[in-house]
């Protein structure tokens, strides 16, 4: 493991993921640029009428250390942000609700709605849940929640982790992942890159996928981790990456199961 003078950790704990996508973490204290995704926002790229910049967005260097009590931090790191979901609702200083229409990507059936009906805090857990509604026309409609930390906690390099539990059932695709803060600078997906820290299929809940998407045409580097017994729906597990210049490593419950150092954009 490469030794750096400064390492940063962003931690999201006690999160119950019961549908859709959860994102978190961000971009700190490094003056180097990289062809990999720059931060963790998950948003649709906006079309700009301004001429594109020729310089990469400057990383946010305003982070300060936060209290590390009761939050395990790996040796060599110091904590820059964590959320234990101890409040009555998501803190708007930390989180954004996303909105997306049906079928926006991946042929998804649900509409992402900024409502506490679908993403809310309860008993120290963030709950993200899809809901099926039969309307007057007799047709089923699906709604779900999706949140990110774009422009609030944007991490470039460090350790990013969350403690999660997933739903079970065909059609579910819970995910914890990273997208650039400024997607339009790099170009639309997949040119901008994407780091999937965790994806688990609802009908295959014993298998974890960690993936780096990049390039044009689209390429991906992917590792998998399969539980010896049980499933990711039965209890909480800690999913993490360690991202350094030129290398990304994926972990489940502290065990490294994949790494890559080969990508381009």
Task: Report the percentage of the chain scoring pLDDT > 70.
Answer: 74
Q: What residue segments make up the domains of the chain, in order of their start?
A: 8-46+57-96+118-127+146-260
Tell whether the model's pLDDT for residue 152 goes beyond 90: yes
CB-based contact 124:43 (threshold 8 Å):
no
Tell whether the model's pLDDT for residue 10 goes beyond 80: no
Start-end of H helices in the chain: 183-186
> Could you give the CA distance from residue 84 to residue 73 in angstroms, rounded to a whole number?
14
**pLDDT value of residue 184:** 78
Active site residue 199: yes
Residues 6+ apart with CB under 8 A from 235: 165
- Winning range, highest mean pLDDT, from 33-37, 188-192, 223-227: 223-227
**pLDDT value of residue 67:** 57
pTM (2 d.p.): 0.77
Confidence of residue 68 (pLDDT cuts 50, 70, 90): low
What 3-state DSSP class applies to 229? coil
| Closest by CA position to 216, among listed 187, 180, 190 | 190
The pLDDT mean for the chain works out to 79
**pLDDT value of residue 234:** 97
Average pLDDT estimate for 136-158: 94
Residues 6+ apart with CB under 8 A from 168: 202, 203, 205, 231, 233
Average pLDDT estimate for 184-190: 84
**pLDDT value of residue 230:** 96
| The one catalytic residue among 199, 234, 242, 247 | 199
* Stretch among 11-25, 59-73, 247-261 having the lowest mean pLDDT: 11-25
What is the third-level CATH fold of 8-46+57-96+118-127+146-260?
Jelly Rolls (2.60.120)
């Amino acid at each position: 493991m490469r030794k750096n003078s400064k390492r940063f950790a962003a931690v999201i704990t006690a999160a119950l993921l019961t549908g859709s996508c959860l994102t978190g973490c961000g971009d700190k204290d490094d003056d180097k640029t990289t062809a990999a995704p720059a931060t963790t926002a998950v948003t649709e790229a906006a079309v700009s009428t301004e001429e594109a910049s020729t310089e990469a967005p400057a990383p946010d260097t305003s982070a300060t250390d936060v209290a590390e009590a009761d939050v395990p931090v790996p040796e060599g790191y110091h904590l820059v942000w964590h959320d234990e979901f101890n409040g009555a609702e998501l803190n708007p200083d930390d989180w954004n609700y996303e909105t997306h229409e049906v079928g926006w990507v991946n042929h998804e059936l649900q509409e992402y709605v900024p409502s506490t009906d679908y993403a809310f805090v309860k008993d120290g857990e963030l709950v993200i849940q899809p809901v099926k509604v039969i309307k007057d026309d007799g047709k089923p409609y699906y709604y779900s929640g999706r949140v990110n930390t774009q422009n609030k906690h944007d991490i470039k390099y460090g350790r990013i982790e969350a403690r999660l539990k997933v739903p079970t059932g065909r059609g579910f695709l819970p995910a914890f992942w990273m997208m650039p803060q400024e997607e339009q600078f790099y170009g639309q997906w997949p040119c901008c890159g994407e780091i999937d820290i965790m994806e688990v299929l609802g009908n295959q809940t014993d298998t974890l996928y960690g993936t780096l998407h990049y390039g044009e045409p689209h390429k991906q580097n992917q590792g998998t981790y399969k539980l010896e017994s049980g499933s990711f729906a039965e209890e909480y597990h800690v999913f993490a990456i360690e991202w350094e210049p030129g290398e990304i490593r994926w972990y489940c419950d502290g065990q490294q199961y994949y790494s890559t150092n080969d990508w381009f954009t």
